[in-house]
């Protein structure tokens, strides 16, 4: 088992600070966030999704990418993924991510998945998704980098079952699934082991975080309004003891990537806490 970190959870660490901490704490790899940060955002305090200091820009030069590669090579860390925010159908942008992934020695990227917001029929979106992945699969084969779709709320792949319906049309050597149980608490929950068994060879990566549901208001008719919020790994709805047991049951031996948005601990403490917690569960299961 190998452990990595998606750098969306480390917004206040520079790349150099991050890789030093990952080496010290005992991580095996890093999943670099890949997104343009507009100049006006760079004036803000660091945050997960806006001014994130541990982010590779799509505008990075070859020299800058060489420096990113040196950071991980010098510390013996793997580049597990280059993780962008692609939309379904963005083939030019997908190839750009694959080129960066190839240069940095990454084993995977995150592909785009069609958003679902009730404005377009699922069946039409599904066909668009297949058309996109048909082209993306060939690119992934060309660059020898696996493309992953993530189980994610507000997309046409919120569950393992719906993600499988998409990827089963493609070669698991080139296309797989990033399995995120906490996202599935927000939308798409299925019995974890059943989903893992269904995915089989498509189960390519797992993200660790947690979430919980809270009542935020009450309507005049007595209806309660609920809203999900992020939680530290042991305090949310996902029972990670069960998830780890299920991963072992299906002989999963891929990467487990930390993605803690709870804000309960500072960044270094969160990096330490998550890996210790999951390693302890893995040994006990």
The predicted model scores a pTM of 0.96
**Residue range 184-235, pLDDT digits in tens:** 999 999 999 999 999 999 999 999 999 999 999 999 999 999 999 999 999 9
16 — pLDDT class (breaks 50, 70, 90): very high
Question: What pLDDT, on a 0 to 100 scale, did the predictor assign at position 87?
Answer: 98
pLDDT at 26 over 90: yes
Tokens of 238: 């996902």
Closest CA to 190 of 157, 159, 152: 159
Q: Give yes or no for a contact between 160 and 167, defined as CB atoms under 8 angstroms apart.
A: no
List all residues 6 or more positions away from 172 whose beta carbon is below 8 Å from its beta carbon: 200, 201, 202, 204
Q: Give yes or no for a contact between 149 and 111, defined as CB atoms under 8 angstroms apart.
A: yes
d(CA 217, CA 210): 22
Task: List the end-to-end C-alpha distance of the chain, in Å, as a whole number.
Answer: 14
Q: Are strands 78-83 and 55-56 parallel, antiparallel or unpaired?
A: unpaired
**Residue range 49-105, pLDDT digits in tens:** 999 999 999 999 999 999 999 999 999 999 999 999 999 999 999 999 999 999 999
Task: Return the number of other C-beta atoms located less than 10 Å from residue 21's C-beta.
Answer: 17
Q: Are strands 224-231 and 210-218 parallel, antiparallel or unpaired?
A: antiparallel
Domains in the chain, CATH or no CATH each? 2-284 (3.20.20.150)
Percent of the chain at pLDDT exceeding 90: 99
List all residues 6 or more positions away from 259 whose beta carbon is below 8 Å from its beta carbon: 5, 6, 8, 9, 180, 207, 208, 209
């Amino acid at each position: 088992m190998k452990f990595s970190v998606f750098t969306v959870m480390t917004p206040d660490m520079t790349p150099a600070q991050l890789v030093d901490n990952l080496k010290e704490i005992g991580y095996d790899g890093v999943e670099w966030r890949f997104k343009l940060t507009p100049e006006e955002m760079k004036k803000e305090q660091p945050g997960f999704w806006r001014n994130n200091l541990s982010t590779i820009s799509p505008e990075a030069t070859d020299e800058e990418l060489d420096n990113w590669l040196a950071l991980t090579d010098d510390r013996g860390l793997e580049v597990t993924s280059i993780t962008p925010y692609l939309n379904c159908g963005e083939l030019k942008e997908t190839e750009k991510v694959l080129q960066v992934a190839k240069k940095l020695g990454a084993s995977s990227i995150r592909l785009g998945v069609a958003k679902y917001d009730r404005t377009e029929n699922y069946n039409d979106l599904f066909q668009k998704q297949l058309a996109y992945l048909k082209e993306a699969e060939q690119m992934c084969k060309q660059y020898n980098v696996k493309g992953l779709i993530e189980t994610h709320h507000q997309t046409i792949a919120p569950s393992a079952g719906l993600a499988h319906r998409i990827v089963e049309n493609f070669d698991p050597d080139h296309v797989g699934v990033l399995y995120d149980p906490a996202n599935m608490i927000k939308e798409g929950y299925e019995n974890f082991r059943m989903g893992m068994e269904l995915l089989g060879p498509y189960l390519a990566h797992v993200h660790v975080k947690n979430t919980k549901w809270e009542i935020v208001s009450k309507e005049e008719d007595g209806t309660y309004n609920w809203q999900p919020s992020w939680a530290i790994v042991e305090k949310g709805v996902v029972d990670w003891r069960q998830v780890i047991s299920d991963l072992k049951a299906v002989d999963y031996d891929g990467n487990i990537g930390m993605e803690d948005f709870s804000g309960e601990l500072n960044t270094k403490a969160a990096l330490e806490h998550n890996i210790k917690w999951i390693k302890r569960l893995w040994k006990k299961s």
